[in-house]
């Protein structure tokens, strides 16, 4: 029986630069020199699993394997930290100000009873399902509301987990008790110690792999909400500006963009957004251009 291959423990400057360029081209993620150790640690196990002993050998093998291995490589490098109702003040803003205002507008007949949202880096699903719980509670279907949530991520691995909508029970501690009772099912027998999203909110969420570095997104325009939190920090300034510009195209005028606590639109927002709350931005309302005044014909003396 052959001995297991040990993961490689180093990569040269030129080799790191080659991976750095490849990863940024495929995902938009910029790995500075300070992330060289992270690359070695996260890709090393995959390299050994393929029976290879160096990053150079893996580079050539991955190129031979094509897109499937590129996706696998990026999965290994992505960070997927998340939790239910993470950055609670943003959900509080929705619950106490934004959603009541929309309900009032719908009652007055000045907006449709429809909300469309996009969780643009959904990881294992806690964010879109937090949003689904809040929207389903505040804007109920029995009152005529239709809710649609797109959940996307670059990682196929975490998307598969998010689609299952099953989590360890301890991850649900951040969910308000009333929501836990209404929207979560407790596992029994072999599923004991786990919770699952109830069909009521699973129906509201659909999943798709989307690369935010792509020049176009397969997403409808006119969205009310976009959550793109803790993603922009991985992009260099030009990539970040491009992502923000593309997100703006998919929000309706007056729609809201939610960023992570360490992110802002300083220097990149242009005229598209104005601050609504910390790390929350509203897309500027569009106004019809004002017609120039009609020239007056001089009166004949």
Active site residues: 42, 153
- Residue 54 sits at the vertex; the CA angle it makes with 16 and 212, to the nearest 5 degrees, is 45
CB-CB contact of 217 with 250 (8 Å): yes
What is d(CA 153, CA 111) in angstroms, rounded to the nearest whole number? Answer: 30
Instruction: Determine the Cα–Cα distance for residues 5 and 49; give it in Å rounded to an integer.
Output: 8
The pair phi, psi for residue 188, each rounded to 5°, is -120, 160
CA angle (140 as vertex; 136, 143 as ends), nearest 5? 165
């Amino acid at each position: 029986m052959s001995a297991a291959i040990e993961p490689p423990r180093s990569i040269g400057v030129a080799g790191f630069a080659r991976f750095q360029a490849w990863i940024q081209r495929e995902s938009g993620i910029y790995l500075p020199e300070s992330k060289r150790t992270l690359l070695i640690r996260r890709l090393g196990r995959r390299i050994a699993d393929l029976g290879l002993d160096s990053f150079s050998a893996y580079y050539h093998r991955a190129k031979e394997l094509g897109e499937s291995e590129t996706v696998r490589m990026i999965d290994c490098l992505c960070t997927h930290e998340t939790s239910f109702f993470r950055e609670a003040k943003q959900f509080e803003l929705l619950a106490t100000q934004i959603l009541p205002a929309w309900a009032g507008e719908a009652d007055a007949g000045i907006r449709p009873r429809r909300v469309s949202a996009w969780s643009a880096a959904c990881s294992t699903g806690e964010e879109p399902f937090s949003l689904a719980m809040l929207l389903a509670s505040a804007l109920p279907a029995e009152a005529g509301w239709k809710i649609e949530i797109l959940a996307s991520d670059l990682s196929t691995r975490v998307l598969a987990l998010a689609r299952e909508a099953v989590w360890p029970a301890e991850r649900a501690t951040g969910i308000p008790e009333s929501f836990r009772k209404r929207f979560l099912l407790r596992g029994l027998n072999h599923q004991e110690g786990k919770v699952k999203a109830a069909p009521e909110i699973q129906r509201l969420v659909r999943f798709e792999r989307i690369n935010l570095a792509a020049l176009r997104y397969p997403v409808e325009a006119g969205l009310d909400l976009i959550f793109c939190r803790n993603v922009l920090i991985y992009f260099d300034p030009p990539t970040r500006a491009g992502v923000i510009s593309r997100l703006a195209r998919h929000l309706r005028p007056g729609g809201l963009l939610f960023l992570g606590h360490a992110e802002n639109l300083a220097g990149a927002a242009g005229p598209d957004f104005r601050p609504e709350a910390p790390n929350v931005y509203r897309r500027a309302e569009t106004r019809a251009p004002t017609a120039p005044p009609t020239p007056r014909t001089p009166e004949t003396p």
